[in-house]
Amino acid sequence: MSRKLAIAIFLFLVSCVSLPTNAHPLKICEFERIYQLGDSISDTGNLIREYPIGANTAFAKLPYGENFFNNATGRCSNGFLMIDYIAMAAGLPLLQPYKNTTANFEHGANFAVAGSTALSTPVLANKKILNPVTNSSLDIQLDWMTSHFDSVCVDHRDCVEKLHKSLFMVGEIGGNDYNYAIFQGKSMDDLRSMVPDIVNVIVEAVKKVISYGATRVVVPGNFPIGCLPIYQTAFQTNVSAAYDKNQCLKQLNDFATYHNEQLQKAIHKLQQETPNAMIIYGDYYNAYQFLLNFARFYGFDTERACCGIGGKYNFDLRRMCGAAGVEVCSDPHRYMSWDGVHLTQEGYKIMSAWLIHNIFHKLHCHF
């Protein structure tokens, strides 16, 4: 990447993720509401409202949220998430978590729960996979969504009219199904066998939101998980062939690519079946790869967690961010990874700018 091109991209990113103005492209869509389903990539405070586990999670206290007005909101970062930047870009307030019973949901709602899975807890249990964090899988979130729409819509026609100018984010979801499987000893063949079920559950969720009247749906794929400190630490090796040019684990990234390819095929098929809705793949994989290249060019720390302890990647699964004695770096805006699993606010800002640029023309915003 040339310096001139990098500067141009940087200026584009700044313009995309600054506070919204009338000139921002997403405002052309005139979205009135945004709805989010997913996991910790997009949870703005649901898990911490789940008793008793959520209230005691590290996400419920500082240093999580230290750059969010020094307030731990349940976001798994030091500040804003991608969904926050997307809401800003659309000129809408930040999404409130559905579990906040005093929140104003006039402009949408966030049903995402940190630690959640695409497959339900019983289905995972049948595969001998335990979710140690939450039972609020995608089907539960869809039930919440149904209850919410039943409370705000007079009838189906009313919902269709209200949701015509809404943006739905169905995911990222499914990443935790694989995370739990990997760390509970499942093989790569086991993981690949899970992909059809996970993709099918995501597709069924998209069908459900469309049935309520959604016309613009973004379905994000998985990150290149072989680039995350949690995996780089767990599977660190001296075998150079195990790593790609970005020093990410090839096998894990190949698996993430396989999941994303199957998801894109399913989205394409569903788009043909439902031509009245725009169903768009959210390319988190390449957004992250862009972030990686961008960060390296500008001298960000692309390997170590900002909040962590120990080893090459500043990460220890037994002493994670929020635990006693685990320190936070002095300059998180120069780091990509916040806690070895989730990104910093700066990382999410750059990824969201790339994503907005990538999906904008696909949204066909001509109301």
Write a three-state SS string for 5-38: HHHHHHHHHHHHHCCCCCCCHHHHHCCCEEEEEC
Give which of 284, 25, 291, 30 is closest to 169, Cα–Cα: 284
Which of 84, 177, 301, 339 is flagged as catalytic? 339
Which of 40, 42, 77, 352 is flagged as catalytic? 40
Does residue 166 have an active-site annotation?
A: no
Q: What angle do CA 347, 280, 96 make, to 5 degrees?
A: 55
Q: Which residues contact 220 (CB under 8 A, 6 or more apart)?
A: 38, 41, 169, 170, 171, 172, 281, 282, 283, 284
For residue 93, the 8-state DSSP code is: P
Give which of 12, 44, 80, 37 is closest to 333, Cα–Cα: 80
Does residue 339 have an active-site annotation?
A: yes
Does residue 43 have an active-site annotation?
A: no
Structure tokens, 340? 């070895």
Report the chain's C-alpha Rg in angstroms.
19
Helices (H) and strands (E) in the chain — how many of each?
A: 12, 9
Q: Give the residue numbers marked as catalytic.
A: 40, 339, 342
